[in-house]
Amino acid sequence: MKKAGTALLLAAGALLPGVSGHAQDATAAPCKAGKGWDLSCLRQIYAGPVSSWPRPQVPDGITPAELAPVSSIPVPAVAPRVAALGQRLFNDPRLSRSNAVACISCHHPAHGFADAKRTSLGHAGRPGQRNTPGLLGVGQLRALFWDGRAASLEVQALGPLQHADEMAMEVPALAAKLARLDNYRAQFDAAFGQSGGVTLARILGALAAYQRTLLPPATRFDAFLAGERTALDQRELLGLHLFRTKARCMTCHSGALLTDQQFHNLGLSFYGRSKYEDLGRYLVTGEAADVGKFRTPSLRGVAQSGPWMHNGLFPQMTGLLNLYNAGMLRPAPRNAEQAMDPRFPVTSPLLQRLQLTSDEIMALKSFLEVL
């Protein structure tokens, strides 16, 4: 695992010299003090309501949703008994062919319902292609998976259940298998309030109901948003300010879950490198413009859900932030064939070099740790 990770990072480094982007100096920034920041001035401009905070610094044409507390996420309308059944199914490895892999094997509560691995390990220890996303707030997402290929949690669960590298289950046989185990039949009837026993639709419905209840826990950031202005220390407050302004993160990470739920290309698709290549959203739409795009992930609980990005490229947050600071990767065509290729991926024009100092990068990191 470690070796593969290093190889990926080296491959990424090889692409770095091609980085471009227009630097923009945040000269008009309030509270600058020489090369650093006047922190008591920052305290003052963040003392009022959220609507009075400095406006997010984003490219023209983008209007990000304002940052909002977890409490603003609507409470899911699910029957508690169905959700409880869903939790039992989520934790039960007998949903897999080998009886060894449960949803929770990869989506563990201790890691924000991710798995702390670069890419997942499933059936018979087989490595998957992608990093396991955390599931906190997943009920709010319009399109699931890194490439958005599933439109609902009910449909989504069919993916891991039958994927050869995940649970490798023959889905048509699943309901009959569960009906023979423990008291599942009775529990399904009790949860759904009528007879009918174990059916695939009920399994998917219960798993989905449970996942809709997985809201991110309220954090010190939520306390801060709610008006408790001592909830963030100086460095975290500076991180928040940079996230909104100079670092331009709110271009894509906005709202209560800190995602615009859109697809963007950050230059991490390793196009034309067979081992690591992942075409992302293109695999769903077939549109050349979607090559290398991935859904902006939520940043709630992000400090617990590394390694980060669709391919788990970054084991360290500082490495990830350094690359954002450089404007991310902007791979150039490597030969004439690639230069003519209409599918050659184009890194998002919304990204640019940021000119953050190392202190500012540490402040951003501290802010991400309170989300």
The footprint of ligand HEC (CB under 6 A) covers 101, 103, 105-107, 120, 122, 128, 130, 132-133, 135, 138, 141, 144-146, 153, 156-157, 160-161, 166-167, 207, 211, 247-249, 251-253, 264, 266, 268, 294, 296-297, 299, 302, 305, 308-310, 320, 324, 348, 350-351, 364
Minimum CB distance to ligand HEC, residue 344 (Å):
17
What's at 1, amino acid-wise? M
Residues 6+ apart with CB under 8 A from 74: none
Of 31 and 153, the one with the shorter C-beta distance to ligand HEC is: 153
Of 46 and 314, the one with the shorter C-beta distance to ligand HEC is: 314
Minimum CB distance to ligand HEC, residue 69 (Å):
19
Minimum CB distance to ligand HEC, residue 309 (Å):
4
Q: Are 8 and 311 in contact (CB under 8 A)?
A: yes
Tokens representing 86? 């869903």
Nearest to 64 by CA among 262, 236, 224: 262
Minimum CB distance to ligand HEC, residue 336 (Å):
27
| CA–CA separation, 326 and 347 (whole Å) | 13
Of 187 and 254, the one with the shorter C-beta distance to ligand HEC is: 254
Distances (CA, A) of 40 to 56, 210, 237: 20, 44, 10
| Cis check: omega of the bond before 307, within 30 degrees of 0 | yes
Q: Encode burial over 270-296: b for 16+ CB neighbours within 10 A, e otherwise.
A: bbbeeebbbbbbbebbeeeebbbbbbb
| CA–CA separation, 121 and 123 (whole Å) | 7
Of 155 and 186, the one with the shorter C-beta distance to ligand HEC is: 155
Of 187 and 305, the one with the shorter C-beta distance to ligand HEC is: 305
Tokens representing 19? 């980085």
| CA–CA separation, 105 and 115 (whole Å) | 8
Of 116 and 194, the one with the shorter C-beta distance to ligand HEC is: 116
| CA–CA separation, 320 and 305 (whole Å) | 14
| CA–CA separation, 326 and 358 (whole Å) | 12
| CA–CA separation, 125 and 119 (whole Å) | 12
Minimum CB distance to ligand HEC, residue 302 (Å):
5
Of 173 and 227, the one with the shorter C-beta distance to ligand HEC is: 173
Of 42 and 58, the one with the shorter C-beta distance to ligand HEC is: 58
Cβ count near 316 (within 10 Å): 13
Minimum CB distance to ligand HEC, residue 166 (Å):
4
Minimum CB distance to ligand HEC, residue 282 (Å):
13
Residues 6+ apart with CB under 8 A from 239: 363, 364, 365, 366, 367, 368
Of 71 and 98, the one with the shorter C-beta distance to ligand HEC is: 98
Of 97 and 253, the one with the shorter C-beta distance to ligand HEC is: 253
Q: Are 361 and 332 in contact (CB under 8 A)?
A: no
